[in-house]
Chains A and B, each alone.
Chain A
Amino acid sequence: DAKTTQPNSMESNEEEPVHLPCNHSTISGTDYIHWYRQLPSQGPEYVIHGLTSNVNNRMASLAIAEDRKSSTLILHRATLRDAAVYYCILLDGNTGKLIFGQGTTLQVKP
């Protein structure tokens, strides 16, 4: 399974943008880049995913490097409710397995 590398933790101020980085240098052509987040005492929640092009949805934006070896999840205006563990995961389009790493714990300060 392809691996991702994320910082253990990050801090942000409320109402400011947050850029969460992820490195995936061993990504293969069939791997999709998925982001999930897990709030305290809840199961993970799907945030966004992409293959090659940048993606936007109501929750966030995903910027993917041209060589696909890294990506960045962008929260445009962080709120206190965005404090969570954010997971960057490569999903193999053939096996469909979602394998979690340690993720990045995001703290949002008021």
Chain B
Amino acid sequence: ETGVTQTPRHLVMGMTNKKSLKCEQHLGHNAMYWYKQSAKKPLELMFVYNFKEQTENNSVPSRFSPECPNSSHLFLHLHTLQPEDSALYLCASSQTQGQNYGYTFGSGTRLTVV
């Protein structure tokens, strides 16, 4: 257990479904991140939140919608996904953005779009 908890661990959804991924940390961190890891590709940074405010959106399609209600929780809302969106989605947190702090990652949600 790393201190960053992601649920669910596995998710299978149809292209017309709506689902949400959840990330939770009680490390006292103020920055949270979503990454996508596709097969045979490096991790891709998707979104960054610092003190609940979104500070980065790396040209992510609008079918991915993040939400950060407080510094401890981060959601990724999914709708009308494509099969190529199947990947491991990783959440991470750090003390704050813009400083030299290590990241703590969760174990990820393995998403399969059918």
State the interface size on chain A (CB cutoff 8 A).
Answer: 23
B42 touching A94, Cβ below 8 Å: no
- With A43-B2, A44-B90, A102-B42: A96-B31 Cβ-Cβ less than 8 Å: yes
Answer whether residue B72 sits at the interface, using C-beta atoms and an 8 A cutoff.
no
Given contacts A42-B107, A43-B105, A43-B108, A93 and B42 within 8 Å (CB-CB): no
| Chain A 83-106 interface 0/1 with B at a Cβ cutoff of 8 Å (1 = within) | 000000001011111111111000
Chain A residue nearest to B91 (CB atoms) is A43
The main secondary structure of chain A at its interface with chain B is loop
Contacting residues of chain B (12-59) with chain A, CB-CB under 8 angstroms: 31, 33, 35, 42-45, 48, 56
CA distance A46 to B100 in the complex (A): 13
Question: Which 5 A-B pairs have CB atoms at the shortest separation, nearest pair first?
Answer: A43-B105, A46-B102, A100-B43, A96-B98, A96-B97
Residues of B within 8 A of A (CB): 2, 4, 31, 33, 35, 42-45, 48, 56, 90, 92, 94, 96-108
